[in-house]
Amino acid sequence: MKTKTLGVLGGVGPLASVRFAEMMINMTKAETDQEHIPLFMFNDNTIPDRTSYILGKSDIDPAPKLTDGINRLAGLGCDYIVITCNTAHYFYDELQASTSVTIVNMIEEAVNAALAKKPNLKKIGVLATDGTVQSGVYGKVIEKHGFSCAYPSENSQKTIMDIIYRQVKAGKDVDVHGFLKIIDELRHDGCDVIILGCTELSVINSDNNLTLHSGDIVDAMEALAEKCITLCGKEVKK
């Protein structure tokens, strides 16, 4: 099978996009440079904030910039495209309609990874931005698969937003203890699996190896990377 080329629309946020590219390299079974997957990245940090728009706090629609990025990557000959932002999947149908190139859906892959991890699961907890939570992009997919979806309490959700925006995006130290405490709250709420449904939270995972040490945590960005490696004709490193 000929190796396919992957396009990555990043900048949402910039650090998470770089971590995704690093995941692609670290997770691909390859012994030489030539065995890795060709990858184009458009790290466009001018894309307006998705959460602010979804919540009605901004009237600047991110969709045109997202569409422009998708079309640029398609024009480079990418066989598949990914968007390294969970919240941006609110616009997924509109973006996919703008191109004939398949946009790999990170939400779908995260839920599939949760099911693979715990085949008998009933309830999935999701940690994400307010925009992702209120848009229901995870809830719709989770319920379509026949599971129930849970989110943190109101106060804990405020802490998650603080961790995402004022710590990871701001390049500050992360309150990992507080983050893990919220994961424990979801466990006590009966969640069989907890999805890290924000790429800034994926940064915390990559810095602390959470999915390596916890059998009930799924990193959406890791799930996306694993799917892309397979789609592009390579093998995932075990």
DSSP secondary structure string, 199-225? HHHHHHHHHHTHHHH-TTEEEHHHHHH
85 in catalytic set: yes
The average pLDDT across 164-185 equals 96
Instruction: Please say whether the beta carbons of 223 and 109 come within 8 A.
Output: yes
Among 149, 198, 228, 232, which one carries the catalytic annotation?
A: 198
Instruction: Identify the band that residue 213 occupies on the pLDDT scale cut at 50, 70 and 90.
Output: confident
| Dihedral pair phi/psi, residue 71, rounded to 5° | -65, -35
Q: Give dist(CA 198, CA 201) in Å, integer.
A: 5
Among 85, 149, 228, 232, which one carries the catalytic annotation?
A: 85
Buried b (16+ CB within 10 A) or exposed e, 119-142: eebeebbbbbbbbbbbbebbbebb
Instruction: Identify the band that residue 238 occupies on the pLDDT scale cut at 50, 70 and 90.
Output: confident
Asked whether residue 105 carries a pLDDT value surpassing 90, the answer given is yes
Asked whether residue 98 carries a pLDDT value surpassing 80, the answer given is yes
Q: Which domains does the chain have, with CATH numbers?
A: 6-105+224-231 (3.40.50.1860), 107-220 (3.40.50.1860)
The average pLDDT across 90-108 equals 98
Q: Give dist(CA 60, CA 232) in Å, integer.
A: 34
- Lowest-confidence pick of 101-105, 168-172, 180-184, 211-215: 211-215
Helix 199-208 and helix 14-27: axis angle, to 10°?
Answer: 50
149 in catalytic set: no
Of 16, 30, 42, 14, nearest to 206 by C-alpha is 16
Summary mean pLDDT of the chain: 96
H helix count then E strand count, the chain? 12, 8
DSSP letters, 176-188, are HHHHHHHHHHHHH
